[in-house]
Amino acid sequence: MRAGGIISVASIYDVEQQEQRRVLYRGYISELFVPYMDVTEEWYFRTFFDAGEYGLGLCAMPLQPLTDCPQNAVFMDGYMSGHNGTPVKKTNVFCIFERYAGDIMWRHTEAGIPGKLITEVRPEVSLVVRMVSTVGNYDYIIDWEFLQSGSIKLTLYSITPHEQSRWSLLLLLPCQVGLSGMLEVKGTEYTHVDQINEEVYGTLVAENTLGGRHDHFLTYHLDLDVDGDVNSFVKAHLQQKVVSDNISPRRSYWTVVSETAKTESNAKIQFGLKPLELLVVNPNKKTKVGNYVGYRLIPGSTIDPLLSDDDFPQRRGAFTKYNVWITPYNKSEKWVGGLYTSQSRGDDTLAQWTLRDREIEGKDIVMWYTVGFHHVPYQEDFPLMPRMSTGFELRPSNFFESNPVLKVKPPTQGNWSICPTSKTD
């Protein structure tokens, strides 16, 4: 009811090692914080916690064939607890489909051989799990997309709850969030921007209509189990080095200095301060050449709170202060905004949990990652805004011995009449 879609026990079948390898034990949206930037008496309280106060699953909507999901999609129902504890069925709240977006999985052209031009290309085909949650005026389109690898057959396969999927091996875990719906507006006496000489806390999007400025913070719970549940969090700093002693015509370069976080306080990350890469590695497993197996976070759009720490909404939403947090697994720590969000005063949030500064090296750890938008309304957003989107990736980093999709077979050649190279005499 609260989290909506939950991805559980995502694993990889490694063709080279002939075994199933664990990646993600559980992933879901823990909270969706939407504070409005209007301090007037009629609006100051509009600081919403869409998961904790409304429920992303409770607000999940039936998906429409051919519009919400493509023709090849398979639909699944969802179930939630009713007010008296009995199961309540929600029809077609998930769809699963293979996506053919014209993307390239990998390619190379070898032009260095005299008289020859050798090109190898493989198209990308991915598996998407989608749900849409309509919370008030906003529709959130939430995708988990699993990209193909070497063990995947490039043939269409209908996936139902009762059939085993041919997608036995995933390469990336991109998660995308799309945002659409009705803009939150309020009436005003103004009909032109030249008339405004005071703070109105929004944009004049139409005559007598103001669109309110606000934020969308989406915090993900990512319980990574990279090749097992004993993991560590590594910060790989990209540092500039100066060339000295005239050993090269170059004057500088950059190198990587890795640091393993020992405790929670050492794993609070704000993006944009210094270049770095963030990895979750298994300290007990290495590749043949000696690298720790791991997965790294490739972040999406970065959002930082612009409210003061002592502002009441920010005290409740203190989990947005950092883009990434790492905690040891605790089954009671699921909701970054607190177990009872509507009654929270900020004393049961992720920010409070981490004050214990627990050890996280070589533990079963959880990554909490926040993406989102600062939403400045524009006229194109009114009355119903086109989709905005953001996302992130969890990408294998020394997890495999080499490129796991290198042996994917090329697609069967068809008769493409619009392509000159496929025309026959």
Give catalytic residues, as residue numbers. 50, 138
Opening angle at CA 85, ends 79 and 86, nearest 5: 55
200: left (phi over 0), alpha (psi -120 to 50) or beta: alpha
Other CB atoms within 10 A of residue 62 CB: 13
Three-state DSSP class for residue 61:
coil
Give the closest residue to 169 by CA, choosing from 121, 229, 125, 224.
Answer: 125
Residues 6+ apart with CB under 8 A from 10: 23, 24, 27, 146, 170, 173
- Nearest CA among 156, 286, 275, 166 for reference residue 226: 286
- Quickly tell me which residue has 């009629």 as its tokens: 42
C-beta separation of 291 from 399 below 8 A: no
